[in-house]
């Protein structure tokens, strides 16, 4: 990603601020919160305004939010502070990731796809740690660029040596525009 990508996302978060701030933490996370450890470090990659990151912090995890948008992360920090929570945030280009080895107990990757992050997620997640992953899949006949969509079976292939707790690939109807989208979601524990 480039500075123009950062500027584009800053503008998107500014222009759609209220709709982003109104979002709830991702259902995959909230429905499976019982899996979260009582303490440890968590990473929310492509965190946006930090809705899911704040959920992690509320559950006792030392949480780090990464995003290319400085504006979105400022909103996340404000929201966390207003809730009396600590949230570490860093503007990061996840197309060029660097993450420390064996550092995180939980990693979130929601509605974001950057294949370069996968080897880093695998290395930075501690043994016994959890990855929550949910993003869009390519549909038959879809013409959009593959770079933004998983191929069928691609996600499970990246983590097939992990303990798979939840895995789904399916179509869903998006209410706001009545458009069907395919997605894959995964919760897996590193051996």
Model pTM greater than 0.95? no
- The confidence band for 2, taking pLDDT boundaries of 50, 70 and 90, is low
Looking from the CA of 73 toward its CB, the CA atoms found within 13 Å total 18
In whole angstroms, what is the distance from residue 126 CA to residue 124 CA? 6
Domains within the chain, CATH numbers bracketed: 3-189 (3.40.50.150)
Outline where 67-164 has alpha helix (H).
Answer: 70-82, 117-124, 154-158
pLDDT 10s digits, 19-43:
656 678 999 999 999 999 999 999 9
Which whole-number Å values give the CA distances from 106 to 15, 152, 176, 177, in the listed order? Answer: 31, 25, 31, 32
Which whole-number Å values give the CA distances from 191 to 39, 44, 116, 164, 166, in the listed order? Answer: 19, 21, 21, 10, 15
pLDDT 10s digits, 99-156:
899 999 999 999 999 999 999 999 999 999 999 999 988 776 666 666 778 888 999 9
Angle at 62 between CA 80 and CA 107, to 5 degrees: 100
> Between 45 and 150, where is the model more confident?
45
- Detail the DSSP E strand segments found in the chain: 41-45, 62-67, 87-91, 104-110, 125-137, 163-174, 179-189
What pLDDT sits at residue 173?
A: 46
């Amino acid at each position: 990603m480039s500075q123009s990508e950062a500027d584009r996302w800053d503008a998107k978060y500014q222009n759609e601020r209220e709709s982003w701030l109104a979002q709830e933490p991702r259902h995959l996370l909230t429905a499976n919160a019982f899996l979260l450890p009582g303490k440890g470090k968590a990473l929310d990659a492509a965190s946006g305004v930090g809705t899911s990151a704040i959920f992690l912090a509320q559950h006792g995890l030392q949480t780090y939010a990464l995003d290319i948008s400085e504006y979105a992360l400022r909103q996340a920090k404000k929201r966390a502070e207003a809730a009396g929570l600590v949230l570490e945030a860093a503007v990061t280009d996840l197309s060029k990731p660097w993450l420390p080895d064996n550092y995180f107990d939980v990693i979130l990757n929601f509605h974001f796809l950057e294949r370069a992050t996968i080897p880093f997620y695998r290395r930075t997640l501690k043994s016994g740690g959890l990855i929550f992953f949910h993003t869009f899949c390519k549909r038959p006949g879809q013409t959009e660029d593959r770079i933004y969509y998983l191929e069928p079976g691609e996600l499970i292939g990246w983590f097939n040596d992990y303990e798979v707790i939840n895995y789904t690939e399916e179509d869903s109807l998006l209410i706001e525009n009545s458009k069907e989208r395919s997605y894959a979601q995964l919760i897996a524990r590193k051996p």
